[in-house]
Structure 1
Amino acid sequence: MRNQRKHSGSRAEPEVRRASGLGVFYLLVFAWAWGVGLLYAVASGPMVRVFGEVTLGNPLIFLTVWSPTILAFAVTAVHGGRDGLRDLVGRIFRWRFPLRWYLAATFGVAGLTLGARFLQAHLSGAAPPPVGDFARWPEFAMGGLAMMVLDPGPIGEDPGWRGFALPRMLERFNPTTAAVLLGVIWAVWHLPAFLFSGMPQSSLPLGWFCLSMVSVTVLMAWVTINTGGAVIPAILMHWSFNRFSDLGQEGAMYAALAYTAGALLVIIGTCGSLGFRAARAGASAPALGRVRR
């Protein structure tokens, strides 16, 4: 049942005000992304003439990918004021947490992807993928930095989904339910991208893509919770997912099942809490919020 305890002191008001903006955030995020998609669908000619084709190089599309972060700040400013903005910025730039969570965030999805490719090769009788080609060392570091700048997804989305929405979801649902629901919402938000050939999602199998998004969201929630609500681990995991995942027609099933297996292991290993109870004991209330059991 929902935790109904009243919190005394200065923390109570920011938590109550923070929770009130979640519905507005989701409404605006979908209105922006789906609205742009609808305009391109029904008025393709004028939209292309004014803004260009639907690609990540289109400034309007780039801003649309950034809409979760942009709207997280806007809604926080209205519903949370200065305290809410300080809380959000603090979680986005929180970097002091154990090294193992940096490694889990950066290499966890990459390891699952590599395992999926080896399994696919074994079952199909093909040659296993060269690890050197998979990671492309030593280009990994420089390529990763470039992708952080050129790929709008991790920085443009995760402060919104993981920094703004996840703590509010944890105030309403238990951690596993919150993560799965957020993953479904995240996947549905991407659906307009499947309609346009200039977007990466247009060539991906929809079902396996959605399963991957939900599973990776559980993993992102796990690292975010265990770092006291920090957003950096989610950004790193999102980057790793975009860089290494093979969601094409041949590899999508194996990748999606690997991510699902990883998510299930985390859920089972933490008894569904995703580490929330242990992390909550050492985190401030605004970082993770109250949790519904």
Structure 2
Amino acid sequence: MSTGSPIPVRYRTDLILFFALAFGLSWAAWLITAGIGRPPTPGSAAFLPYVFGAFGPLLAGAVVRIRRAVRKEPAPGHAIRFRPGSLLWALALLVLASAIVLASAFLAHIAGGGPAPSLDFAATVIKQNPLGPVAFFATMLITGPLSEEPGWRGTAYPRMRASAGRYRVSVLIGVIWAIWHLPLFFVTGTVQNQLGLATPSGVLFTVSAIPMAMLVCYAYERAGVLAAIAVHFATNTTMVLLGVSAPVVQAMILGIQALVAIALLGAVRPGRRTTPAAVVSRPQS
């Protein structure tokens, strides 16, 4: 699965630029938010820097793409372009990602120790949004999937794939992704802050970035950034609606995601995304 070859110079430069901007923009914004010391609710002084921080990967990816366009360089060989079939794959993977979280929550409850999944809790979460359900789902889509996936998967992943296999790259991105989230543990009112960095739930949240990244990377391999956004959105939204915080539920989700992701990544045919047609991926590069 791994070529073992060094990263081409232009990809290495792109990746250094991407990660420096993604971390620099996000961490600077979140450190400002943490310094304000208030929950980043709409209308508060902490809201704008908090939201801006989420867009670090997207902005970093845009800079790399503009740089590539100015230099008239071709898209990476592992970049996946949008095709009509991507819509069906995105929908199918969205359902799969949500089903993994739901099944894990039920299994954790049946095994004992996990709370019973409740639609009442989901309804309460949606009602807590002052602008209603549309705003809730729009927020879940924008702050996370849309603000991150064009960067992590659309920009970094295909360039890293030039020198390593999908398993290695997806795990590495998962580790980087977990580190990128760390400042959120110090921002008052965030899910990460409520879990706590040194608690079992906080540790599981951090480690869970790896299997989730593997699943999202498979989605990108299969149908590009649109599918990656769908999986990211479905996972985050289902977990929020279920109020996942118990370590036993987190551990179950982590384990099942890992098993499914390993199986799916292994099912991707080697070389299936390196054809000339896939190289012209404009939206995802």
TM-score by length of 2: 0.75
2:169 corresponds to which of 168, 178, 183: 178
Deviation, 1:61, is 1.6
Q: Deviations over 1:178-215 (max 9, x none)?
A: 00100111111010000122222212322111222111
Q: Tell me the residue number matched to 2:55.
A: 66
Cα distance in 2, alignment partners of residues 169 and 30 from structure 1: 17
Deviation, 1:262, is 3.0
2:146 corresponds to which of 127, 150, 155: 155
The question of whether the paired residues in 2 share the 8 Å contact of 1:33 and 1:64 is answered with yes
> Tell me, what secondary structure is at the counterpart of 2:26?
helix
Cα distance in 2, alignment partners of residues 253 and 36 from structure 1: 32
Cα distance in 2, alignment partners of residues 112 and 282 from structure 1: 34
Cα distance in 2, alignment partners of residues 156 and 23 from structure 1: 19
> Tell me, what secondary structure is at the counterpart of 1:21?
helix
Cα distance in 2, alignment partners of residues 124 and 99 from structure 1: 38
Cα distance in 2, alignment partners of residues 208 and 260 from structure 1: 11
* C-alpha spacing 1:239/1:2, structure 2 compared with 1 (3 Å): same
Q: Which amino acid aligns with 1:277?
A: G
* C-alpha spacing 1:286/1:28, structure 2 compared with 1 (3 Å): same
Cα distance in 2, alignment partners of residues 275 and 149 from structure 1: 35
The question of whether the paired residues in 2 share the 8 Å contact of 1:208 and 1:253 is answered with no
Q: Which amino acid aligns with 2:49?
A: L
Question: Where does structure 2 lack aligned partners over 5 or more consecutive residues?
Answer: 127-131, 196-200
Cα distance in 1, alignment partners of residues 209 and 108 from structure 2: 20
Deviation, 1:2, is 3.9
TM-score by length of 1: 0.73
Cα distance in 2, alignment partners of residues 60 and 202 from structure 1: 16
1:109 corresponds to 2:104:
no
Cα distance in 2, alignment partners of residues 249 and 98 from structure 1: 32
Q: Tell me the residue number matched to 1:265.
A: 260
1:192 corresponds to 2:183:
yes
* C-alpha spacing 1:69/1:248, structure 2 compared with 1 (3 Å): same
* C-alpha spacing 1:124/1:200, structure 2 compared with 1 (3 Å): same
Question: For this pair of structures, how many residues does the alignment match?
Answer: 258
Percentage of matched positions with identical amino acids: 26
Cα distance in 1, alignment partners of residues 122 and 31 from structure 2: 38
Cα distance in 1, alignment partners of residues 258 and 134 from structure 2: 24
* C-alpha spacing 1:212/1:276, structure 2 compared with 1 (3 Å): farther
Pairing of 1:178-257 with structure 2 (within 5 A): 178-204=169-195, 205-227=201-223, 230-245=224-239, 246=242, 248-250=244-246, 252-257=247-252
Q: Tell me the residue number matched to 1:35.
A: 28
Higher relative contact order (CA 8 A, sep 6+): 2
Moved more, 17-26 or 276-285: 276-285
* C-alpha spacing 1:216/1:104, structure 2 compared with 1 (3 Å): farther
Q: Tell me the residue number matched to 1:7.
A: none
Q: Deviations over 1:6-45 (max 9, x none)?
A: xxxxxxxxx864553111111121122223344455xx3x
* C-alpha spacing 1:231/1:270, structure 2 compared with 1 (3 Å): closer
* C-alpha spacing 1:206/1:259, structure 2 compared with 1 (3 Å): same
Moved over 6 A (4+): none
Deviation, 1:125, is 7.5
1:26 corresponds to which of 19, 29, 34: 19
Cα distance in 1, alignment partners of residues 155 and 189 from structure 2: 29
* C-alpha spacing 1:103/1:37, structure 2 compared with 1 (3 Å): closer
Cα distance in 1, alignment partners of residues 11 and 113 from structure 2: 53
